[in-house]
């Protein structure tokens, strides 16, 4: 975990006064514990310091409580400008919702089309045939369910792609023509 990344892995930046009073999640405590393990493995903490800080990190109730535990281990620098990260997050959410809608519509289309073909062939045969549309419907439905169930990881991946494309665009703009 890079030093700059520690602060960005919390659900809210502990360095920002606006987020200091927000309730900490188990994931936030896990981030702090991992950062402390890294610092201990690097030799920046003694065993006693590591034990004390780790037990304190597990009991932290607000995001701001992580700051005194980590500030001397990881450069804090200025907090990132929230407008950019908020804008990036909202763009990623819009993209994710569009992807989710497309996955749902694809599932409905495939299920509806296959069911219509089955119904037509059953009617032509004069009897109910084996309901084979369940197989393509399940196949496409698994993709839709995967998109829906892995929402946070997909949103983060979209954010990463957007951030990388912005960095690449900035590099292209900054390079001499």
Full-model pTM: 0.49
Distances from the Cα of 90 to the Cαs of 67, 69, 152, in angstroms?
A: 27, 31, 13
User: Mean pLDDT by 10-residue block, N- to C-terminus, for the chain (177 residues)?
Assistant: 72 84 90 90 90 93 91 70 68 93 96 97 96 96 92 91 85 71
Confidence (pLDDT) at 85: 67
pLDDT, position 78: 54
pLDDT of 165: 87
pLDDT at site 17: 82
Identify the burial level of 70 via C-beta atoms within 10 angstroms of its C-beta, where 0-12 means exposed, 13-18 middle and 19 or more buried: buried
CA gap 119, 71 in Å, rounded: 66
Please give the pLDDT value at position 3.
55
Give tens-digit pLDDT for 53-76: 999 999 999 998 998 999 888 876
pLDDT at 96: 93
> Angle, nearest 10°, between helix axes 134-149 and 151-174?
70
């Amino acid at each position: 975990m890079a030093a700059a990344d520690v602060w960005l892995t919390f659900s809210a930046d502990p360095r920002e006064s606006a987020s200091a009073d927000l309730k900490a999640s188990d994931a936030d405590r896990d981030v702090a514990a991992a950062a402390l393990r890294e610092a201990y493995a690097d030799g920046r903490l003694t065993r006693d310091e590591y034990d004390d800080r780790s037990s304190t990190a597990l009991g932290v109730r607000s995001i701001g409580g992580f700051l005194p535990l980590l500030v001397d281990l990881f450069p804090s620098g200025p907090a990132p400008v929230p407008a950019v990260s908020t804008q990036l997050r909202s763009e990623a959410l819009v993209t994710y919702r569009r992807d989710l809608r497309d996955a749902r519509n694809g599932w409905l289309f495939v299920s509806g089309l296959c069911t219509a073909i089955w119904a037509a062939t059953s009617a032509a045969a004069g009897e109910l045939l084996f309901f084979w549309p369940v197989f393509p419907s399940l196949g496409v439905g698994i993709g839709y369910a995967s998109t829906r169930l892995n929402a946070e990881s997909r949103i983060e991946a979209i954010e990463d792609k957007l951030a990388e494309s912005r960095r690449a665009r900035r590099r292209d703009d900054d390079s001499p023509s």
